A and B are shown apart, each in its own frame.
Chain A
Amino acid sequence: MTEFTLSRRGFLTSACCLAAAPIFTPVTFAAMPGDKRFVTIVLRGAMDGLDLVQPYGDAGFAALRPTLALAPDKGLIDLDGHFGLNPAAADLLPLWKAKELAFVHALSTPYRDQRSHFDGQDMLESGGEHVAEEKTGWLNRALAVIPRSDARKAIDVNTSTELILTGPNNVDVWASDSNLGPAKDEMQFLMRLYAGDPAFAKAMDEAMRANSASMTAEPSGQRGEKITDVAALAGNMLKGDYRIASFSITGWDTHVGQLSQFKRPVQDLAQAINTLKATMGADLWAKTVVLAMTEFGRTVRENGSGGTDHGTGGCAVLAGGAIDGGRILGKWPGIADGALLDDRDLMPTADVRELAAAMLYRQFDVSAEDLTGKIFPGLSFDKGSQFLRG
């Protein structure tokens, strides 16, 4: 037997070793027959795609982002002569070179104008056309129509499934019951929350100084180790009965001091992807697609506190041996005057649901009819999709 099968007991054992995984909310898995694997990573908090994959070739980019914009002579890793990779993601470069990594710019859900994380994430995970239209997650609805899939037993060890996999179809869940420390972006909100109340501001200040480890979840290495653990758990499950896994990475809501704040979640993402590959091994990785996506992008212009605010057009990351990578996908709208949405956001040129639909189509032969009817109601999709080409 060449393929290692992780037993349920082994699954739980792994969970025990992962007593604390601060940035990962539940890891959800779904088993189904067939060889192909699909992993979704929800980047909660609105990942700044323009920081991760910077359009340094666009005139005016540096002026729009005086402190955030990099260039190849300032550490940016050139990808194709126009876009460059944030150096915090340097660990992903080997995947890019192996054509196992791609980025898709200017994506969005149908959500517009309001820019609420809650609504945006609901839209991203439910796959509907409007807020609160769909009560279940698109990945769960997909389970029902994937050919040859059958009923699976739930192993709800703790807490709940994330929305993306919530629904009538059985999904196994592992979740950390640890004492979750806040991600750095959440810390900013706590500071604001207490700013007008001196007694609480003082207590918070002391708490941070007294216990910076648990309050900020920032001690070097710790967070990374935990990401490695959870991604390894997901990878091991995918080596066994499971074909679909989903988890989240938080920490992307970089309103303030993005230059330093952005590094940590980017490194988390890079480690999560690399760990998945290392755990699954070359054979399985070749059959795998990882889709990391976020609820919306961030403002093209830097704000007054060295950060960016909620925007519209965002960026998705594709990885895996099953993709034809080494490319920047999507239709780039540019950032020139007049090209921005509401004079502030990257103009979306494609629906992130189309990208997800294309991956389901590719990995699991889900029909276009099911994709546009049951899974992503209202979506236009056919096998001529730009995301299925070349």
Chain B
Amino acid sequence: MSLSFPTMAAIRFGYGLRPGESLPQTKDDLIGQVMRGADIVPGFPVGGIEARHTQILDLQDRLKQVRQADGDDLARRQQRRLLQRRAQVLFQMDANARLMQSVLSPDGFNERLATFWTNHFSTSAAKSLPMRLIVPLYEAEAIRPYMGTKFATLLRSATEHPSMLIYLDQAQSLGPDSKGGMRRNKGLNENLGRELLELHTLGAGSGYTQADVRSAAMVLTGLTIDPQEMETAFRPQISEPGQHQVLGVSYGGAKRTRKDYLAMLDDLSVNPKTAEHISRKLAVHFISDQPPQEMVAAMSEAWKKTDGELSAVYRAMLDHPAAWRDEGAKARQPFDYIVTGLRALNSGSDTGDVAAFMQAYQEDDADSDEMMAMQPKKQDAAPDGQAMMQAPPSPDDEARIKRRKAFQMARALGQGALRRMGQPTWLPPSPAGFEESFSAWITASQLSERLAWARRASAQFGKDVDPREFLKATLADAARDETIRVVSQAPNKISGLTLVLASPEFNRR
């Protein structure tokens, strides 16, 4: 028996049900989310896109100053540590805002696609200090606006962004025979060229050769970053002169321009191998680890017919009957699990109680170091804790203690949990992104973490929630009879809510 359309749409193609939020009723509703999504400004980077560009330049300047400063190493290390801390705080705020963006958005399909594409074009904030500021910007300005365009547009946008150029070392790649390359005695870095073919377009094992990889890297030479502006730039003087053959097509010439690699990207974007690779990847992500071949074929066909119009590809997936049967074949990945869990608990109007808490306490207290110093030291053994008599803390201290506790709880339920579960935001393990398969995520340690999260979230937010109502509101007709029975018999409310969040159907989609 299949689930109702709205339930399936919310669970398989979105981040589950949020009490009080209306559900997608048609495929048009889902596609409409994506078309609308291009104009929606996400909650990150915190402070906005314009401000972020300034912050990145500012960080660059300061790092340079620290490098060039006279004075002892200690002072320089301290200054550098301060910059690191500031960048880290900003990154944490962005990561929280990323989580809340998905928790609060009524456009679950658009949010899921943002996660998919950001992961498809993986870049990691761990690459360097400025990347803490750049990767969130990348998702906001290079990925999200182009998820309903032609794939060629998205591919250009992602490939040219500083985040990608830094992450895959393109900024270090020079044509060996270019003027700049010869002068600096440096050469080609194949990293972006390889991942472009293997991960971003054609797919591994799709028939391209090492010569194609090298040629693609040659075509890409010249594409780099202006270190002063921290913007994408094309520098002919480091671009490898001559013609470079990729999959039998020649790009370049005596005089190299930006058009060379753009032509290559455009060709790759409509290559049938690319259509097949990415259609399959979408189907694997949304439908099943083993999606039906006809579905992938239908999506590839739509790709070919429209020259890679992504909304047509999504539509082909949604139009296939397999999109609406055999629910629960996929495991929710940690980000998916936590977003869905927070959404389920986030009742109340507008922002909701959960999101209000998570947002209010996303920043660590600036006085946290003092707080640590204020924590009582371990006392010498004393009966009944009587050695602990001291002057009572002031109301200010109490407020700070309370705030710090809340901050710790918010972190434990958000980025802390994501880290423990192996999916920290914008920190993928490799250019291939996070694991995808069911078996990668439903393991003993993963389940332990999810149970701990479920229990903590239930205790924090579930005080006034009846588990039976919660089950109805969050799983609707996806709840199995056995889960309904078990939850209704749970020994207390917190246990009941925990069981809902721990249930197989809450962890599947």
Contact = CB atoms under 8 A, between A and B. Distances in A.
B445 interface: yes
A232 interface: yes
A232 B385 CA distance: 9
A8 B398 contact: yes
Contact of A190 (B392, B444, B446, B451): B451
Contact of B495 (A13, A186, A203): A186
Contact of A44 (B388, B405, B492, B503): B492
A197 interface: yes
A185 B491 contact: yes
Contacts of A211: 444, 448
Scoring A10, A116, A118 by chain B CB atoms within 10 A of each residue's CB, the highest score goes to A118
Nearest to A252: B491
Interface stretch (A87-95, A152-160, A314-322, A365-373): A152-160
B51 to A, nearest CB: 34
B255 interface: no
A180 B391 contact: no
Interface stretch (B271-279, B312-320, B460-468): B460-468
B211 interface: no
A141 to B, nearest CB: 18
A6 B382 CA distance: 14
A182 B455 CA distance: 8
Interface string A266-298: 000000000000010000000000000000000
A155 B385 contact: no
B402 interface: yes
Interface string B287-328: 000000000000000000000000000000000000000000
A236 B384 contact: yes
Interface string A98-112: 000000000000000
Interface string A193-222: 111110110011111001100110000000
A299 to B, nearest CB: 14
Scoring B412, B448, B466, B480 by chain A CB atoms within 10 A of each residue's CB, the highest score goes to B448
B385 A199 contact: no
Contact of A10 (B389, B460, B491, B504): B389
A314 to B, nearest CB: 14
Nearest to A46: B491
Nearest to B482: A196
Interface residues of A, number: 60
Contacts of B412: 177
Contacts of A9: 376, 388, 390-393
A206 B438 CA distance: 16
A189 B456 contact: no
Contacts, number: 160
Given A9-B393, A118-B496, A203-B442, A16 B491 contact: no
A344 interface: no
Nearest to A163: B463
B507 A200 contact: yes
Nearest to A8: B392
Contact of A182 (B384, B393, B451, B466): B451
Contacts of B405: 157-158, 177
A236 B442 CA distance: 44
Nearest to A194: B504
B438 A4 contact: no
Contacts of A12: 376, 393, 401
B282 to A, nearest CB: 23
Contacts of A200: 442, 447, 504, 507
A25 B447 contact: no
A192 interface: yes
Contacts of B480: 196
B416 to A, nearest CB: 11
A207 B496 contact: no
A8 B406 CA distance: 19
B384 A25 contact: no
15 contacts: A6-B388, A9-B392, A10-B385, A12-B393, A13-B388, A117-B493, A118-B490, A182-B451, A189-B491, A190-B451, A193-B482, A193-B499, A197-B504, A206-B443, A215-B451
Interface of B: 375-376, 379, 384-386, 388-393, 398, 401-402, 405-406, 408-409, 412, 438, 442-448, 451-452, 455-456, 459-460, 463, 466-468, 480, 482-483, 486, 488-496, 498-499, 502-504, 507
Given A7-B391, A117-B493, A203-B442, 14 more contacts: A4-B384, A7-B388, A9-B391, A14-B385, A179-B452, A185-B491, A186-B491, A189-B486, A196-B480, A196-B504, A200-B504, A210-B444, A211-B448, A214-B448
What 10 A-B pairs are tightest by C-beta distance, nearest first?
A: A45-B491, A206-B444, A253-B491, A10-B388, A207-B444, A197-B504, A13-B388, A203-B447, A44-B492, A8-B392
